[in-house]
Chain A
């Protein structure tokens, strides 16, 4: 499978717990993006990596959120002290070096987070 892979597909956690999601982009893609999608809404941009550098962060990415891409390959998104409002689908996307930032996205299937 050469698509964008996300793990886990579903996560149920208690309020206050920490969670971490993983994204494996398409292997030759150096650009990686995280989005959040709540029920009935379109995805909203969270953050962008080019290789291992995090170049852009949305105001939606509060202090409880941190994203990393240590070797420029896979990325992790951690949410600390989860709140019920964090319940959403977290989507990862990647694009190739030949596409400019913001172009040529391929999305993964997402991680569905439910905070109870």
Chain B
């Protein structure tokens, strides 16, 4: 079935670099997208969200970009820190109660 997927299972960066984590989705009906951070042994932690009527949204050190033409979502983390090391998931809401999650990208930040 259709699902949200991520391009790379792992991403390794140096402290201070900018990180970009990508996600592709297939359902044009999806109207809401969220990025979550999950540290080992913990539940997903909300980072930032974006609705389908927007192209870009910024938070503290994070930016989400939505390209509906190619069904692509990205998370940019500025000045990546060791504490950013975690698994990052994108998720979509297709207008129902459930969030559909992708498989996740493991971000490793070395100092």
- Contact yes or no, B43 A42, CB < 8 A: no
Interfacial chain A residues near B103, Cβ < 8 Å: 40-42
Interfacial chain A residues near B91, Cβ < 8 Å: 42
Contact string against B for A residues 81-116, beta-carbon threshold 8 Å, 1 for contact and 0 otherwise: 000000000010100000001110111111010000
Interfacial chain A residues near B46, Cβ < 8 Å: 105-106
Interfacial chain B residues near A56, Cβ < 8 Å: 96-98
Q: How far is the CB of B89 from chain A (nearest CB, A)?
A: 5
Cβ of B81 under 8 Å from chain A: no
Residue of B44, B45, B97 touching A43 (CB-CB under 8 A): B44
Q: How many A-B residue pairs have CB under 8 A?
A: 60
Number of chain A interface residues as a range = 20 to 34
Interfacial chain B residues near A101, Cβ < 8 Å: 96-97
Given A109-B42, A110-B43, the answer on whether A42 and B97 have CB atoms closer than 8 Å is no
- Contact yes or no, B89 A45, CB < 8 A: no
- Contact yes or no, A108 B102, CB < 8 A: no
Cβ of A74 under 8 Å from chain B: no
Q: How far is the CB of A78 from chain B (nearest CB, A)?
A: 20
In the complex, A25 Cα to B19 Cα: how many Å? 33
Given A42-B104, A110-B43, the answer on whether A102 and B98 have CB atoms closer than 8 Å is yes
Interfacial chain A residues near B101, Cβ < 8 Å: 41-44
* Residue contacts A-B, CB under 8 angstroms, 23 given: A4-B43, A40-B103, A41-B103, A42-B4, A42-B89, A42-B102, A43-B89, A43-B99, A43-B101, A45-B97, A45-B99, A45-B100, A48-B97, A48-B98, A56-B96, A58-B98, A102-B96, A102-B99, A103-B32, A103-B93, A105-B46, A106-B46, A109-B42
Interface residues of B (CB under 8 A from A): 4, 32, 34, 36, 41-46, 89, 91, 93, 95-104
Interface residues of A (CB under 8 A from B): 4, 33, 40-45, 48, 55-56, 58, 91, 93, 101-103, 105-110, 112
